[in-house]
Amino acid sequence: MAVFLVQARQEKAAYHLLTWLQQQISQPDIAAHAKHLQFFGPMPAAMPKRANQYRVQIQLQHPSRSHLQIICRQLCWLLEQHSESKKLRWSLDIDPQEL
């Protein structure tokens, strides 16, 4: 399992970035590894607001750990290229202990 978490002062901005990220999964270079991928979200994190920041997440699950790592690596690269990601705080947690 992997969890992308976005923190933003405006909840709409966090949802917008994660919705965009979810749409990127259908790109051919990612879709080739995403056949059995399950994703949940975007949805509020366990603590939806902390320190005046909204927290929104998307969860990814894949039966193959290597495919999940490839997908996450490609999604991280896409996030780093996205102009809005520089204005928000985002993180990736692989095998999170808490949800």
The domain limits of the chain are 7-91
Q: What is the pLDDT of residue 83?
A: 92
Q: What is the pLDDT of residue 99?
A: 58
Q: What is the pLDDT of residues 40-69, one digit of tens each?
A: 999 999 999 999 999 999 999 999 999 999
Residues composing the chain: 99
What local confidence, expressed as pLDDT, does residue 97 receive? 83
**CA dist 16 → 10, 59, 68, 94 (Å):** 10, 16, 23, 22
Amino acid identity of residue 87, one-letter, is K
* pTM of the predicted model as reported, rounded to 2 decimal places: 0.92
Res. 29 pLDDT band, cuts 50 70 90: confident
